[in-house]
Amino acid sequence: MRWRKKLDLYLALIRWDRPAGWLLLLWPTLGALWVATGGFPGWHLLSVFVLGTFLMRSAGCCINDVADREFDKHVKRTAGRPVTTGAVSVKEALVVGALLALLAFALVLSTNALTIGLSGAALAVTLAYPYAKRYVSMPQAVLGLAFGMGIPMAFAAVRGDLPPLAWLLALGNLCWVLAYDTEYAMVDRDDDLLIGIKTSAITLGQWDVLVVMLCYLGFITIWTLSLGQMVSSPLFFLAMSFALAQVAWHFALIRLRTRDGCFKAFRLNHWLGFTVFAGIAASDFFR
């Protein structure tokens, strides 16, 4: 049926079959929510942030695909995207993205003024990211800002203010995004060089693997030191040790810079994020 085919195209547009993308946003956001609350945040805030994260990531996919539709034609991994092939029009993609963003905003309206204001900033960075690849040598840093906005929003929704801890955790998350999105950029490096867009993988050159590892270590170090006294359970430190072991596995996957190895490493990152969140949540549960 025609409507079913169209629905399938819209689901492909928002990467319905690739949940790793929105999980990368979800785990640090939930970690911040648990820390800000001092435990389970309640069903209202949990629902707002889980659904809001999914909706905003989906809206971001629509915006990104419209902005990159000409570039994506020349990249093996993205050539089949619905907007790139013309199966979904630019107008359709923008309408879908706008509706998803409005639904996410409706959820935020149930929180407080500071959180609502931060949601506007998050949308602005989300809109800016696709175009950063044209002008910024490390556009992954812009993505890191966008992907980290859930952290201060979580603190704002719970406390009504933004303590230094919120920004420290956001800084650590920025390191993580730089690590995994550079792995992602390493997959497309050959194609990106040909079409002339900027990525961290191109900018870093032969230093890419080293910098990715340092960014992973920065993420784990900042979150461990920032939360070590607040989440003073052996389970938290065990989880962070397991996260560190996953970083070693990432090195094994990307050290030869193969396309398959780098893509596999990127796709595994949501497990690293889940490990850190699980350590925080389990520490509260078994307190």
Stated pTM of the model: 0.93
**Of 196 and 169, which is predicted with more confidence?**
169
> Would the pLDDT of 285 be above 70?
no
Q: What is the pLDDT of residues 264-274, one digit of tens each?
A: 999 999 999 99
Q: Residues 139-161, buried b or exposed e (16+ Cβ, 10 A)? A: bbbbbbbbbbbbbbbbbbbbeee
Mark out the alpha helices in 39-163 (DSSP H runs): 43-67, 69-72, 82-85, 90-108, 113-135, 139-148, 150-159
Cα 51 to Cα 64: distance, rounded to the nearest angstrom: 20
Task: Look up the domain containing 223 and give its range.
Answer: 2-285
Residue 168 sits in a domain whose CATH number is 1.10.357.140
**93-98 long-range contacts, CB within 8 A, separation 24+:** 93/13, 93/62, 93/65, 93/66, 94/62, 94/63, 94/66, 96/10, 96/13, 96/14, 96/62, 97/58, 97/59, 97/60, 97/61, 97/62, 97/63, 97/66, 98/59
Question: Which residue, chain included where needed, has tokens 């879908």?
Answer: 96
> Would the pLDDT of 197 be above 90?
no
Which tokens hold the place of 184?
């992602």
Contact assessment for residue 173 and residue 148, using Cβ atoms and an 8 Å cutoff = yes
Q: How many domains does the chain have?
A: 1
pLDDT of residue 248: 97
CA distances from 241 to 51, 220, 262, 265, 276 (A): 30, 9, 22, 18, 9
Mean pLDDT of the chain: 91
Q: What is the pLDDT of residues 94-127, one digit of tens each?
A: 999 999 999 999 999 999 999 999 999 999 998 8
